Structure formats: C-alpha cells, structure tokens
Amino acid sequence: MIIEMYKDDILNRMKLLDDRVDLEFDEDGRFHIIIVGGGALVLCEYIARSTDDIDVLEADKRLHSLLRLYDMNDDVNAHIFSFPYNYEDRAKQIWSGKKIDYFTASLEDIIISKICAYRDIDIRDFEELVDNIDWELLEKLANNEDELRLISMSERNYLDFRASYENFERNYRPCKD
C-alpha cells in the first residue's frame, strides 16, 4: 500500500515520534534527525507533490527501531556516499520537539544526491527546484573534491556522476550573465 504524505502528514509523524521518544527515554539529552529526499523537499515547500516515506539520513541508533513505525526510512544511510562531506554543516533545523531536533539537508546537498540517483521522480523534481538553488554552492559541492564524497566511489561511478551533473546543469541552470 502506497501512502501519500504532504507537509502536515510528515509534521504529524515527526511529532508522534517525538512524543514516543519522550515517553521511552528518561535522560535529559536531545536526539537529532536529518531528513533528506522528497520528504525534506516537501517539508521545506520546495516541491508540491506528496512523498511515500520520510528518508532519514542520520538518527541516533537507539531510534532506529521506532522510525519505521512513523514511515521513516533509515535505509538511506546506505547512500551516504551521494551526499557531500560536511552536509551536516549546511543542515537546516525545521522543528524542535520535546526530545528531538529535526533538520533537513540543504537543498544543494539533496540535489547532489538526486543527481547521483537520476531517477524519473528526481528529474521531475528538478523542474520545481531550479528557482531556489544556490548555484554557486551547488557548483562548489559538485566540483570541489574536498567537498565531494563521490571521490571515494569507483572511477566509473564518479564519471557517471560528472556526466549527470553536466546534463543537469545544461538542462536546468539559468544562463550566466
């Protein structure tokens, strides 16, 4: 069964998870979760479509058993290579609950990961994202080997990324003056 989640649905799941964590964990510390993918784009109102899950790139290991109960997918961590180094430094806080601080990766970090995947849904998302992109930052993330985690990939995968990025830039970047 495919579910469709819009911003309010995602926020509701985030609040429900926070309430559950507040009940189950007595310590004073806080947890943080970084949301990526379509869920992050919906939360930040960059796209107007729904998403069928909430992709979680980073969360405390103690929360992993609870995430799926709230349609949060933590399998994304297997794709960490498609996010630039230091993505955490660019993450934006979107909501704080009783126990959990929620963040999204920056739009530019998400676009890099979508360029890596280059699925049909990613290509459709690009149309809606163009006007919000910090092209200077995106270019830095895509071209600076100090930022680009992809250098740890195979040479072929790296070349595939380069070709996909050039295609993305050709199709979506406004003309430079």
123 and 48 in a single domain? The answer is: no
Q: Indicate whether 2 belongs to any domain.
A: no
Total of domains in the chain: 2
**25-29, 30-34, 72-76, 114-118 — most confident range:** 30-34
**Residue 151: pLDDT above 60?**
no
Element (H, E) at 101: strand 100-104
* 98-138 pLDDT, tens digit each: 999 999 999 999 999 999 888 899 999 999 999 999 999 99
Helix (H, G, I), strand (E, B) or coil at 176: coil
**Residue 1: pLDDT above 70?**
no
Phi, psi of 72 (to 5 degrees): -105, 130
Instruction: Please give the pLDDT value at position 76.
Output: 78
101 and 116 in a single domain? The answer is: no
142 and 75 in a single domain? The answer is: no
Which residues in 15-27 are b (16+ Cβ under 10 Å) and which e?
bebbebbeeebee
- Give the end of a domain, one of 78, 106, 134: 106
Q: Indicate whether 87 belongs to any domain.
A: yes
- Residue 162 burial (CB count, 10 A): 14
32 and 45 in a single domain? The answer is: yes
Mean pLDDT of the chain, nearest integer: 91
99 and 122 in a single domain? The answer is: no
Q: Indicate whether 91 belongs to any domain.
A: yes
Instruction: Please give the pLDDT value at position 72.
Output: 96
Instruction: Please give the pLDDT value at position 129.
Output: 96
Rounded to whole angstroms, how far apart are CA atoms 12 and 20?
12
User: Which residues does 15 contact at the CB level (< 8 Å), separation at least 6?
Assistant: 97
40 and 28 in a single domain? The answer is: yes
Domain with 79 in it: 7-106
Q: Indicate whether 177 belongs to any domain.
A: no
- Give the end of a domain, one of 106, 122, 147: 106
Strands 72-73 and 54-59: parallel
**Residue 79: pLDDT above 80?**
no
Q: Indicate whether 130 belongs to any domain.
A: yes
114 and 102 in a single domain? The answer is: no
Task: Categorize the per-residue pLDDT at 19 as very low, low, confident or very high, splitting at 50, 70 and 90.
Answer: very high
Q: Indicate whether 15 belongs to any domain.
A: yes
Which residues in 88-124 are b (16+ Cβ under 10 Å) and which e?
eebbeebbebebbebbbbbbbbbbbbbbbebeeebbe
33 and 97 in a single domain? The answer is: yes
102 and 130 in a single domain? The answer is: no
99 and 114 in a single domain? The answer is: no
- Give the end of a domain, one of 58, 77, 106: 106
Instruction: Please give the pLDDT value at position 149.
Output: 62
* 90-99 pLDDT, tens digit each: 999 999 999 9
Q: Indicate whether 65 belongs to any domain.
A: yes
The DSSP call for residue 150 is G
Rounded to whole angstroms, how far apart are CA atoms 46 and 59?
23
Instruction: Please give the pLDDT value at position 77.
Output: 67
Give the dihedral sign, CA 71/80/63/28: negative
